Amino acid sequence: MQKVYLDNAATTQVRDEVINRMQEALATFYGNPSSTHSFGRSAKTAVEKARKTIAKTLNAQPSEIIFTSGGTEADNMILRCSVRDLGVETIITSKIEHHAVLHTVEELEKEYGIQVFYVDLDEVGNPKLDHLEQLLKQDDSKKLVSLMHVNNEIGNITDIAAVGALCRENDALFHSDTVQSIGHYAWDLQNVPIDFMTAAAHKFHGPKGIGFAFIRKNSGLKPLIVGGAQERGFRAGTEPFHNIVGLEEAFIKAYEHLDEETETVKELKQYFLDKIKEEIPGVIFNGLSADLEKSTYTLASVRLPFDKQKGLMLLFHLDMKGIACSKGSACQSGSDMGSHVLSEIMSGTELEKPSLRFSFSMYNTKEELDYTIQVLKEFAEN
């Protein structure tokens, strides 16, 4: 049976170079980075080198990069500390954010009594900037806007520059969950009006369990996790050195080969879009995922012309044929609830049709896409 992995928005295959670098670190540089002897100093040097590598590529300062366990921790840390330490009284977000943001905001509303407003979305899932401006201007409370750059289910790209400009004009802080875009898009943080952003290594061919937060210098945030003085006093806990150097290696490779790998994956996505339209009449693309300029090149959200009953067996059938994809965020795979993202932009009738997220990487091939579409076509005809 052929094996096809098309769930790269959930997690990616780790590069060989990353595995080799992590093995070397585990075998050779096993000292605690906080220790003052040579073993510890060697590990600490490598941690700080990784921080500088990331900062230089993003055009940030090393002190603005804080290593975390991943995107969820980074989102929690930024949102919680903004309310606790910066006096944020109002958070403006959208109902199609990742649950790492949505559930954190809900908890903050209960714990601190903050105001929470959800910016209106247009018919394809983009935040309406005129409504965002209205929300920013409605009162004098201290505000934070949290809008993701690339939606992890439908792939829409938010105009970060426009949102950031509105926030600056209205004295609001701006946080963006950039987990789906770090490692896939170039950034210049000296010229992007953003205060906080988050990343996870496993979304760009690195290890799981490691990521980072970008926290603009002099933000005023204080630690969420306290204890030792690691991460320049901002996040206590012994640094997972092997994961950090794995993140660095994945980050280096992602940006060294960004142009060529972007072009490769773009071609795969376009091939998939063209082929599935040709082979399965009636297919619809959710959000803006059929537009390679306005959505990420790494994923397509597809609504298939199958009835509800047939749709219930679709993922199981694909899995039995060796094909990995998803209904939406992997974080919700254990839930009976449908996609909260699709529920916001689709009618009840539209939601009855099965939607799948196919997400691509440089390790995929056109032959794999042919096989996947053939399996879908046969399923439709039976």
Give residue limits of the domains in the chain.
4-13+258-381, 16-256
Length of the chain equals: 382
CA-based R_g, the chain, Å? 21
* pLDDT by residue, tens only, the chain of 382 residues: 799 999 999 999 999 999 999 999 999 888 999 999 999 999 999 999 999 999 999 999 999 999 999 999 999 999 999 999 999 999 999 999 999 999 999 999 999 999 999 999 999 999 999 999 999 999 999 999 999 999 999 999 999 999 999 999 999 999 999 999 999 999 999 999 999 999 999 999 999 999 999 999 999 999 888 998 899 888 989 899 999 999 999 999 999 999 999 999 999 999 999 999 999 999 999 999 999 999 999 999 999 999 888 888 999 999 999 999 998 654 544 444 679 999 999 999 999 999 999 999 999 999 999 999 999 999 988 8
Distance CA 181, CA 198 (A): 10
Place of tokens 């040579």: 38
Distance CA 118, CA 266 (A): 32
The model scores a pTM over 0.85 = yes
Give tens-digit pLDDT for 320-372.
Answer: 999 999 986 545 444 446 799 999 999 999 999 999 999 999 999 999 999 99
CA distance from start to end of the chain: 20
Other CB atoms within a 10 A radius of the CB of residue 282 amount to 11
- Predicted pLDDT at 334: 45
Contacts of residue 127, defined as CB under 8 A and 6 or more positions apart, other chains included, come to 94, 119, 120, 121, 147, 158, 163
List the CATH code of the domain at 16-256.
3.40.640.10
**Phi, psi (5° rounding) for residue 124?**
-105, 0
Domain 4-13+258-381 is found in CATH 3.30.360.10: no
Out of 81, 167, 325, 331, the active site residue is 331
Give tens-digit pLDDT for 202-229.
Answer: 999 999 999 999 999 999 999 888 998 8
**Phi, psi (5° rounding) for residue 260?**
-70, -40
Place of tokens 């980050």: 251
- Predicted pLDDT at 328: 61
C-alpha distances (whole Å) from 215 to each of 74, 76, 173, 195, 380 are 10, 13, 11, 6, 48
Two domains, one topology: 4-13+258-381 and 16-256: no
Quick check: is 81 catalytic? no
Calculate the CA dihedral of residues 31, 37, 38, 42 and round it to 10 degrees.
50
Which one, of 218, 173, 179, lies nearest residue 196 by Cα?
A: 173
